[in-house]
Amino acid sequence: MKRLDRYLLHSLLWAILGVLVILVGLDALSDLIDGLGDLSETYGFSDLLIYIALTLPRRVEEFVPYATLIGALFGLGKLASNSELTIVRTAGVSMPRLALMAIKPALIVALLGFCVGEYVAPVSEQVAVSQRALAYRNDPNLAGRYGAWNRDGGTFIHVDAVQRGGLIFGVTLISFDENGFLVRTVAANRGTYQGEGWLLEDVAVTSVTDDGTRVSSVTTMNWASEITPSLLTLDSVKPESLPATQLWGYAQYLRNQGLVANDIELAFWNKILQPLSCAGLVVLAMSFIFGPLREGNMSARIFAGVLAGVIFRISQDFFGPVTLLMGLSGGVAALLTVLLCWSAGLVLLLRRQ
């Protein structure tokens, strides 16, 4: 039994990893082609290649569930075509036991994807976004296209680019009074974190009074704020690229500022439940092999896997916003998609039994 376990582990693991490499490569190639239209004097082809390379870890984590589904279909389908699964079943291996064997490689890949998303993707994604924003900032046609928004009390902050180490570029502060009237705007070329606040450089201050506006320029200006470089770093990338260890605290911070944090909470639960999702997708793949597609060819199985992966992604995009609009937590929204995978797979398998 141990030899059979190792054989299935080896076959499915390599199938899943192979599909993952293909999916990540196709997605990177698609972004490379799309990015050719944004090339300029300040953002060349080499910069685009560096950006694509730095975003590969994020793509790996993103495509782990789909690679698990399609890879399991491919691996199990190959074993079924060679009648190996028939021999295994004839030898007395039950369906639950076979499912546990098939789930193990999926959990290994899911753990790998979680580690990449937790420790590698956040750093590389932030560097990629920062370098691209800095390059576009010097292009008048693309300036302001990327950046991060935040709030500190009655002041709204926008930063064009955030670099690791407490350095920000293109800082705009928009301050309102208690009645919601505009009081002052501050535009700075650069800012450096000083521990308890920021030192802004090349500053233009526009004050709004009853008599009109007054514009003044200063070389440096101290900005006392609870906004830290880590918070701005979190703002500059998509929630899906953030580590789960920071997402929950970041959501609480946004709520304390009176901001909506539902998308952050949903991203947190999607990351936490991803191994369970991958296991459910393997069960769904097994239902295709032993269920309605057991007599089909490999092309039909792969097509079904791609279609099921698309439905899985659509369900994530659908259940998430809908449940949040209904006032339910992000955990419920993420769990609904997992339950959908498990329910569909188990129903099809039970019909086969």
Asked if residue 280 and residue 335 are part of one domain, the reply reads yes
In a domain, residue 162? The reply is: yes
Residue ending a domain, choose from 225, 246, 276: 225
For 222-268, write each residue's pLDDT tens digit: 988 888 887 787 777 777 788 888 888 888 877 777 766 777 888 88
Asked if residue 279 and residue 188 are part of one domain, the reply reads no
Confidence at 131, pLDDT banded by 50, 70, 90? confident
In a domain, residue 159? The reply is: yes
Asked if residue 128 and residue 188 are part of one domain, the reply reads no
3-state secondary structure of 345: helix
Name, of 109-118, 149-158, 255-264, 335-344, the range with top average pLDDT.
Answer: 109-118
Asked if residue 129 and residue 168 are part of one domain, the reply reads no
- Per-residue pLDDT at 39: 82
For 325-353, write each residue's pLDDT tens digit: 776 677 777 788 888 888 887 887 776 55
Asked if residue 13 and residue 131 are part of one domain, the reply reads yes
Tell me the average pLDDT across 43-49. 89
CATH number of the domain within which 219 lies: 2.60.450.10
Asked if residue 192 and residue 67 are part of one domain, the reply reads no
- Per-residue pLDDT at 297: 65
- Per-residue pLDDT at 33: 93
Nearest to 221 by CA among 244, 204, 241, 238: 204
Asked if residue 213 and residue 113 are part of one domain, the reply reads no
What total number of domains does the chain contain? 2
Asked if residue 324 and residue 273 are part of one domain, the reply reads yes
Find out whether 72 and 286 touch, Cβ atoms under 8 Å: yes
Tell me the average pLDDT across 70-90. 79
Residue ending a domain, choose from 208, 225, 242: 225
In a domain, residue 312? The reply is: yes
- Per-residue pLDDT at 233: 78
Using the structure block, give the residue that is written with the tokens 């597609």.
293
- Domain housing 110: 2-136+258-352
For the chain, how far is it from start to end, CA to CA, in angstroms? 22
Poorest-confidence range of 159-173, 181-195, 249-263, 272-286? Answer: 249-263
In a domain, residue 319? The reply is: yes
